[in-house]
Amino acid sequence: MELDVHALKENLFEDLNHRWMLISATDGEHANSMTAGWGGMGVMWERDVFFIMVRPCRYTYEILEKTDTVTLSFFGDGYRKELTYLGRNSGRDEDKLALCGLTPVIEGKDVYFKEAKTVLSGRIIAKMDLKSEHLVDETLERCYPQKDYHRIYVCEFVRGFEQ
């Protein structure tokens, strides 16, 4: 069922720290997904957007640098094992989509999962590299012991659906 972004009844990002989501993308040749616990949705530059934070060491980062399209997949209960796998292993080392135990769907530039409850697809419209000096609250540095500051991708909402 197609989803009107304004009609999203629950806040998908509420409790994301505990429920997690999958960020997926393809560069046309390779597709990959990784688990994410940080991100949000809102309005920027008068557009409906979602944003995600990806560290440069992720294989997903490499793919995101070669595409303009990202999907977010949100799941109901019962997929902890699959999301843990996708959040602990790298697509650089193995074909995670084949091994994760979920059913990947590739539709044009969108990669998502058949088991997802809600899927959002967006077009990357801005990228921002977080730097140490941007962390006004210096205690946030504890998230970066290796100084691998995130790249923040802001994506304009293109379509969403519930399955």
Ligand X SMILES: Cc1cc2nc3c(=O)[nH]c(=O)nc-3n(C[C@H](O)[C@H](O)[C@H](O)COP(=O)(O)O)c2cc1C
Q: Residues in the site for ligand X, rule: CB under 6 A?
A: 20, 32, 34-38, 53-55, 58-60, 87-92, 96
DSSP for 43-101? EETTEEEEEEEE-TTSHHHHHHTT-SEEEEEE--TT-HHHHHHHHHS-TTTS-HHHHSS
Amino acid identity at 109: K
Q: Compute the least distance from the CB of residue 95 to ligand X, in Å.
A: 10
Sign of CA dihedral 60, 12, 116, 17: positive
Return d(Cα 24, Cα 53) in angstroms, integer. Answer: 13
- Taking the least distance from each CB to ligand X, the nearer of 39 and 160 is 39
- Taking the least distance from each CB to ligand X, the nearer of 6 and 14 is 14
Q: Compute the least distance from the CB of residue 108 to ligand X, in Å.
A: 21
Q: Compute the least distance from the CB of residue 35 to ligand X, in Å.
A: 4
Q: Compute the least distance from the CB of residue 46 to ligand X, in Å.
A: 26
- Taking the least distance from each CB to ligand X, the nearer of 12 and 54 is 54
- Taking the least distance from each CB to ligand X, the nearer of 53 and 111 is 53
Return d(Cα 48, Cα 37) in angstroms, integer. Answer: 20
Chain residue whose CB lies nearest ligand X: 87
Which tokens sit at 31? 């597709």
